[in-house]
Amino acid sequence: MTFGTLLTTIRDYQHAGISNLETLTTLINDTFGDWLASQGVSHLAMLDAHRFCLNVRGQLKQELPAKGIHVGRSSQAHIEQHSRFLVVALDEVAETPEALADALNCYSSDGDGAYAWVIPDGYMAALTSAEQEWEAQGGGYFSHESICISNTADIDTRCFLEVLYEDISLDNVSCEFEVPAHRSVHYRLDKLKAENGEPLIAKDAPVSYKITSRDARVVVQGSRILTSGEDSMFASFGTVMAWCPQ
């Protein structure tokens, strides 16, 4: 897929007699939506028969250098760069579709995924006496849960973890942590500590987790390992993508 294909398809729709801007916008986004998202574009909107707008998931970080095309903010410009969108003159840029890719490279990335994620099913089983002894000696890999967070954005973000208990006698708890740009973090939830040094999250208590990213879109995954049986000889492992409400 290329921007040349995108521009050609817009013209093909128009030549087929599709002149309604709302219909044309819908057709283009239905056809190219996933590919545009991979280019950092959330939506394309036809402004008139000769211009369209690209909503960009990111801030403008530099002006596009002129490479044989006109770039600016006047009505004669081929590409108008703004903070989070581009306005493109269809007729002129059709001869140099690669200019669109160059223009998008001038924007920072807000990242993939979403700002809020929920893992509805959480539960950490308490360790047996034998498991506690083995763990104290530094051995064993026992019942616990973890969350993995990937930040593909060009900026760092701070994430807020909320732990929501089913048991109303337990107070919900929370914590915050940093996820650097183009990095991932993995947290063993049984290792999180409260201010008093005790485990942050209670064992043997059904919970849900909500992860909110402050500054960038992130992708979240939850994992659980459950050990059981004599000498913890049985173990199960599960991993699931969190649910994104957006």
Statement: residue 233 has pLDDT above 80: no
How do residues 190-212 score in pLDDT, each as one tens digit? 889 998 989 999 999 999 999 99
**Cα–Cα distance, 99 to 191 (Å, whole number):** 49
Q: Can you list the domains of the chain with their CATH numbers?
A: 3-104 (no CATH), 116-241 (2.60.290.11)
Beta strands in the chain (DSSP E): 41-48, 51-56, 79-81, 85-89, 116-122, 144-151, 157-165, 173-179, 183-188, 207-213, 219-228, 234-241
The pLDDT tens digits of the residues spanning 142-187 come to 778 999 999 999 999 999 999 999 999 999 999 999 999 999 999 9
Beta bridge partners, 236, equal 226
pLDDT attached to residue 226: 76
- Residue 13: pLDDT band with limits 50, 70, 90: very high
Q: Which residues share a beta bridge with 116?
A: 212
For residues 216 and 111, the answer to whether their CB atoms sit within 8 Å is yes
71-to-61, 66, 80, 98 alpha-carbon distances in Å: 15, 6, 6, 14
CA-wise closest residue to 143 among 190, 187, 186: 190
pLDDT of residue 246: 66
- Rounded distance between C-alpha atoms, residue 171 and residue 152, angstroms: 33
Calpha distance 180→213 (Å, rounded) = 12
* CA separation for the pair 213, 161 (Å, rounded): 9
Greater model confidence, 79 or 139: 79
Residue 101's pLDDT is 92
Q: Amino acid identity of 185?
A: V
pLDDT value for 172: 97
At 156 the three-state DSSP class reads coil
Across residues 78-99, what is the average pLDDT? 91
Does the pLDDT value for residue 76 go beyond 50? no
Tell me the C-alpha distance between 83 and 72, whole Å: 13
User: Whole-angstrom Cα distance, residue 56 to residue 80?
Assistant: 13
In a 3-state reduction of DSSP, which class is residue 25? helix
